[in-house]
Amino acid sequence: MMSHALYERQQATIELYQQLAVAEKESLDPAITKINHTDLMKKLRSRIHGETSSD
């Protein structure tokens, strides 16, 4: 019999792999607009500091 903690850990692992599969599909889709890390961080920082964005 499997412990509850082991079951929860396995379920979390399965969910993670499902999310990674979706992200990988999205990353290969040319129709999805992508943003690089530097630009994303600038956008997030401006939101945190209350600046308005044109996006």
Q: Does residue 22 lie in a domain region?
A: yes
Residue range of the domain that includes 20: 4-48
Residues 53, 46: contact at Cβ < 8 Å?
Answer: yes
Q: Does residue 13 lie in a domain region?
A: yes
**How far, in Å, CA of 25 to CA of 21, rounded?**
6
Q: Give ∠ CA 23-45-22 in degrees, rounded to 5.
A: 5
* Overall domain count for the chain: 1
What does the pLDDT look like over 16-50, one tens digit per residue? 999 999 999 999 999 988 899 999 999 999 999 98
pLDDT of 12 above 90: yes
| Predicted local confidence at residue 1, as pLDDT | 84
DSSP per-residue string spanning 4-43 = HHHHHHHHHHHHHHHHHHHHHHHHH-TTS----HHHHHHH
Q: CA nearest 43: which of 35, 23, 24?
A: 35
| Predicted local confidence at residue 20, as pLDDT | 97
